[in-house]
């Protein structure tokens, strides 16, 4: 629904309602939630400003060189920014309330996702903390040895050689070992489709509840946009 929405008020209320759902239902501590809102703000400003400054429009408000702000581009920029916040809130709500193991087990059992893809995703998620730990260890080791990169553009290239290449090589080795282990356990091809599961996935009343909750959030945003519009613009495409 968020993708197909071109009503600015509807998108704005969607962003507001899903942010409220994220705050109330995620169970994340308030100070961590503030950290989540920092990327939200950055994404909103970057996406909205790019559309405002370089978008097309007939009613020009301000123009200087390559920059041109028109009425149409301004509202389209706000629309794009609010849509990004709505998507981010929905995604974070899923991430903070759903276990990755439960998610992929349900995809394998309910949607018949091939185990080789599901377990590959689960393995990659588990490998990310290892990569960060290796980065911290390597940085501390270089600091103990007194190796400090030079400043400027040359320092960027030097850091790439000191961190990126070793971490990438180690990640490739680890991924190859995981792939070999998965092939040995017959996760590849059609043989991996007929399997038993340690964690059975079943529908419950909570699935119905979350569907009703998301529908109620969308309906609330739609009703609020109809009764309390902030902008009063039906379609930001201005066709």
Exposure of 158 by Cβ count < 10 A (0-12 exposed, 13-18 middle, 19+ buried)? middle
For 48-89, give the DSSP string.
HHHHHHH---SSEEEEETTEEEEHHHHHHHHHHHHHHHHHHH
CB contact at 8 A, 232 and 9 = yes
> What pTM value is reported for the model?
0.67
Distance CA 88, CA 82 (A): 10
Instruction: Determine the pLDDT at residue 189.
Output: 57
CB contact at 8 A, 118 and 102 = no
Instruction: Determine the pLDDT at residue 238.
Output: 58
Q: At what angle do helices 205-227 and 8-25 cross, to 10 degrees?
A: 140
Instruction: Determine the pLDDT at residue 141.
Output: 83
Distance CA 4, CA 218 (A): 13
Instruction: Determine the pLDDT at residue 21.
Output: 85
The rounded Cα 92 to chain-centroid distance in angstroms is: 7
Instruction: Determine the pLDDT at residue 239.
Output: 55
Residue 35's H or E segment, with its range, is helix 30-54
Tokens 């909750």, residue? Answer: 213
Q: What is the pLDDT along the chain (239 residues), one digit of tens a residue?
A: 566 667 778 888 888 888 888 888 877 787 777 787 888 788 788 877 777 777 676 677 777 767 777 777 777 888 788 888 888 888 888 888 888 888 888 888 888 877 778 888 888 888 888 888 888 888 888 888 777 766 766 667 777 777 888 888 888 888 888 888 777 777 665 554 566 777 777 788 888 888 888 888 888 888 888 888 787 776 666 55
The rounded Cα 104 to chain-centroid distance in angstroms is: 17
């Amino acid at each position: 629904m968020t993708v197909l929405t071109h009503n600015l008020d509807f998108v704005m209320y969607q962003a507001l309602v899903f942010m409220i759902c994220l705050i109330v239902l995620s169970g994340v501590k308030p100070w961590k939630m503030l950290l989540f809102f920092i990327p939200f703000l950055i994404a909103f400003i970057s996406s909205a400003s790019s559309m405002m400054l370089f978008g097309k429009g007939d009613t020009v408000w301000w123009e200087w060189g390559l920059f041109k702000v028109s009425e149409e581009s301004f509202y389209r920029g706000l629309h794009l920014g609010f849509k990004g916040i709505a998507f981010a809130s929905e995604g974070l709500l899923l991430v903070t309330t759903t276990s990755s193991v439960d998610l992929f087990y349900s995809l394998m059992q309910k949607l018949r996702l091939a185990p080789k893809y599901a377990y590959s995703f689960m393995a990659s998620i588990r490998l990310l903390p290892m990569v960060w730990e290796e980065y911290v260890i390597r940085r501390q080791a270089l600091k103990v040895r007194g190796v400090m990169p030079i400043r400027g553009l040359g320092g960027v290239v030097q850091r790439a050689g000191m961190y990126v290449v070793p971490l990438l090589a180690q990640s490739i080795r680890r991924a190859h070992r995981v792939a070999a282990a998965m092939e040995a356990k017959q996760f590849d091809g059609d043989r991996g489709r007929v399997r038993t599961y340690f964690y059975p996935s079943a529908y419950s009343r909570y699935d119905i509840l979350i569907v009703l909750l998301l529908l109620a959030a969308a309906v609330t945003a739609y009703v609020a946009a109809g009764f309390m519009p902030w902008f009063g613009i039906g379609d930001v495409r201005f066709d």
